[in-house]
Structure 1
């Protein structure tokens, strides 16, 4: 039986283990943490009076409609053996129905995530997506034009032209109002996937923006789903049980320290476990570790044998970590995600009790009435309490700052649509817990982060390796691998694992079926235009929508001085020619 060693027991490593074990391979997974699941795992949070620990995790799990690979894996993972074997962990996903768009000045809004049915609902949905009435109508129209350009662009244009263009430039944000920049240039995407529009590629943000919007209009996909309990209870632990039933050997608290390579092949891996070193040999090796770990494992010998690993240092990462607030009384801010547009730290949140079906299992023997899970996506801007960026705060300062930013958005606010936001009161706060991946250095006065996220900055796709690297018995399964998903996420990790397994199957000339892969889906309505743009691209011609920013500048000038505006547009087009 062919032996496969997997380094890393996160979503990618466990996904690869499942695909391989189901096809008859002998699989061993080594994970550095005590619990499996990687960045998706839950862990024991603060203790309470009865001696038990409250559940905690990096923030919250988010399953938008374009997740196909990881959902397929969940559907094939039973909740448990016996009478419940017919249920899969995918049955533990529950849909959200709303999204809170909260601001400190002006009116916050609650947008339904269910498909609009009436003209009024369509009007409200479009208003919510394109600025909630805060963005000038002409600027909203310009942004719609930008989305139409994306919908009608061919894949080659995405891969080459848009890969080299920041999202901020593509949407012409510098020329627009602060409301446009806040709601549309940053918008939902920056908060939910830790993207910085000034440096992140249009290829990545544009594709994700379109997929997220599809979920808000297409009945065939869920706009958003969450787990009905802490991630390990609802997903990871049943997954681990299933893998063990398949014969997978799972080894926690074991760190890979070296990946050996000789004569163009991987020859072994060195591990550290219980304070002792050991060496393991295998037929195949799957590197399912984050990019910052793979950098440490990549030697000159590996780079020589696999040139696609030479540029890992050029791949960027950012922080996206969570804080849990445990409340004595539940505060159900909204039936879904809350997005806090005026928060300097780009906060998003979920009030968990309404989604955790058996909440009394996690309520500290009745002491906890609610759990508010919050994610911080911006770590370099000053906060509102201490005037320091998040990365310079102590854990206590971090939690205090996040709490105050939430209060600034939620307290004394009413939203359109008849929904009242609940008030956060200091006396209602029982306990807080900061992601343990963050540690504070007293001497340096800064936080460090053991688990950052990949971010897709401009023109870095070329530095990301394929799953099928040049070494014949080594494959890569991680979210920095080139995938259709192209985003730091569980979905991308799962897709990368499938690509890695398919590479092993090809090399083995294995008879088993290949792992299924999905591409993003776009409305068929725009397919003729996308085909037309393929001809445009082959003829080295721009997309017809390329002129929009030029016309916009002329339009803006024309408002101030009609003659100057016309002359400006004429000069700009002359320069293009």
Structure 2
């Protein structure tokens, strides 16, 4: 039986183990921390039999997440599966300091009016008409561009440049250019138009697809609802899951990996090895010898990261806000949140932590470079205490800004409500601020060429991380899961396994655009520009598409 050693117990590593163990392979997973799940994990905030839980950041599952949801549907949990712990959201609150709060539905439209509203791209309400027309033209450009053009041209253009943000209105820049940063930490000035544009469209299409929920979240902290049942299931399949087992290197004989050297002095030997550590950790395993054998491994260190970390505020009241996300449009630190209590139906909050805690507001900060409103420093330059104070102040500035009939009375957060807070422990204090031990890959302009495939040139080494080339093309649970499937498939191919391979899905776009993509493919091969390279030709393509529809 082929033996596999997986270094890293995050989503990518657990997925690889899952796919191989279900096919009868002998798998060992080596995790450096005491809890599995990587960036997706939740953790107790104190010792004791029933502590409250904190997280790196809240989990959310948009409609285009297919790989990770398929895996969840195969993990037993009670009388059902882990996928039963996914709860559909209903609405997103877009809160501004000066503007009236807006509510955006996240349920599938079921009336003509709802369809018309859903067809309006996200965050364009109240924008100048010229900006809206330009945005639609840009999205049409993306939808009719062939895959080769997206990779060969649009990956080398920033989203900021592609949407001409410098020459658009301030409202356009605030609501659209930065919208993706709040959602997935994609910095608009440096993120590629290929990735940000594709994900923007996927989020929009998700709202129009009545066959799948637009977005879902978990009904309990991530480890309770997903990761712990997953690890238990892997153990029933015979997987050797080892916690607190950090690896310090891969042993390489010039042709093959021969072992994993652990920090405790042990060496784990196997037939196949999967490196499933984060993008910032992976270069530590790439020796000069490995780089010569597989040059693609040496390019991982060129990939850039950003910070997108979470904090939980434990409140004396359950402040529900909307049944979904909250986006703080004017927050300097690009904040998003979820009021968790209304969703955590399988989590007994009353028996955990201080008796005063009745609600949990989980917040993610995506901009750590812009000065705040209290300490007037970027998050990077603050202490942990200052970060908590600053985020709390930005939340209050938004949620207490207006008395709106859509969202209730103006004062929704008060200092008296705050019982405690828990900031991601990956944020550690330094002499001049904080460091981040868990940064997130960002898809910068031209970075696709530095992202390796799951199967490497080293004959028994595969990669399973969200920096691997995948269809999902985004630093996320979905990409990590897809990368794990691709790593497993490569191992199955080498083992000449006769059964099925793990399924990988392509991102779906409306079929009506396929003829235009085929035409653009022909033009691209001839070295010709996209038909919508100029505004006039974009309008011509729009008219042609309208006639076709």
Query: Under TM normalisation by the shorter chain, which class is it?
Result: over 0.9
Given that 2:321 and 2:407 are in contact with CA atoms closer than 8 Å, whether structure 1 keeps it comes out as no
1:226 has 2:203 as partner? no
Q: Structure 1: how far apart are the matches of 2:114 and 2:277?
A: 45
Q: Structure 2: how far apart are the matches of 1:92 and 1:302?
A: 42
- Mapping of residues 175-574 of structure 1, within 5 Å: 175-187=167-179, 189-272=180-263, 276-361=264-349, 363-364=352-353, 366-415=355-404, 417=406, 423-441=412-430, 444-548=431-535
Q: Structure 1: how far apart are the matches of 2:347 and 2:187?
A: 35
Q: CA RMSD in A?
A: 1.8
Q: Secondary structure of the equivalent of 1:129?
A: coil
Q: Structure 2: how far apart are the matches of 1:2 and 1:46?
A: 41
Post-superposition offset of 1:511: 1.1
Q: Secondary structure of the equivalent of 2:53?
A: strand
Q: Structure 2: how far apart are the matches of 1:418 and 1:17?
A: 45
Post-superposition offset of 1:542: 1.4
Q: Structure 2: how far apart are the matches of 1:542 and 1:458?
A: 20
Q: Structure 2: how far apart are the matches of 1:259 and 1:479?
A: 20
Q: Structure 2: how far apart are the matches of 1:437 and 1:14?
A: 21
Give the total of aligned pairs. Answer: 538
Q: Structure 1: how far apart are the matches of 2:120 and 2:202?
A: 18
Q: Tell me which moved more, 364-373 or 32-41.
A: 364-373
Q: Structure 2: how far apart are the matches of 1:184 and 1:549?
A: 23
Given that 2:52 and 2:349 are in contact with CA atoms closer than 8 Å, whether structure 1 keeps it comes out as no
Post-superposition offset of 1:311: 1.1
Q: Secondary structure of the equivalent of 1:510?
A: coil
Given that 2:531 and 2:537 are in contact with CA atoms closer than 8 Å, whether structure 1 keeps it comes out as no
Q: Structure 1: how far apart are the matches of 2:311 and 2:481?
A: 26
Post-superposition offset of 1:398: 0.3
Post-superposition offset of 1:262: 1.0
TM-aligned CA distance change 1:220 to 1:416, over 3 Å = farther
Post-superposition offset of 1:422: 6.0
Bigger radius of gyration, 1 or 2?
A: 1
Aligned to 1:141: 133
Q: Secondary structure of the equivalent of 1:503?
A: helix
Aligned to 2:91: 98
Given that 1:191 and 1:377 are in contact with CA atoms closer than 8 Å, whether structure 2 keeps it comes out as yes
Post-superposition offset of 1:341: 1.1
Post-superposition offset of 1:419: 5.7
Q: Which digits, 9 at most, give the CA deviation of each residue in 1:319-374, with x for residues without a partner? A: 11001000010111111011111001000000001111134346537421110000
Q: TM-score, normalised by structure 2?
A: 0.95
Post-superposition offset of 1:268: 1.1
Post-superposition offset of 1:107: 1.5
Post-superposition offset of 1:119: 4.0
Aligned to 1:17: 17
Q: Structure 2: how far apart are the matches of 1:359 and 1:289?
A: 30
1:158 has 2:150 as partner? yes
Any gaps of 5 or more consecutive residues in structure 2?
Answer: 540-549
TM-aligned CA distance change 1:149 to 1:2, over 3 Å = same
Q: Structure 1: how far apart are the matches of 2:477 and 2:387?
A: 26
Q: Secondary structure of the equivalent of 1:348?
A: strand
Post-superposition offset of 1:123: 4.5
Q: Structure 2: how far apart are the matches of 1:389 and 1:177?
A: 25
Aligned to 1:56: 54
Post-superposition offset of 1:551: 9.3
Q: TM-score, normalised by structure 1?
A: 0.90
Post-superposition offset of 1:45: 1.5
TM-aligned CA distance change 1:416 to 1:64, over 3 Å = farther
Q: Structure 2: how far apart are the matches of 1:107 and 1:65?
A: 28
Aligned to 1:566: none
Any gaps of 5 or more consecutive residues in structure 1?
Answer: 553-577
Q: Which digits, 9 at most, give the CA deviation of each residue in 1:451-496, with x for residues without a partner? A: 1111100001111111110011111111111111111100000000
Q: Which digits, 9 at most, give the CA deviation of each residue in 1:398-456, with x for residues without a partner? A: 00100000111110424575766761011011111100011001xx2221111111110
Q: Secondary structure of the equivalent of 2:265?
A: strand
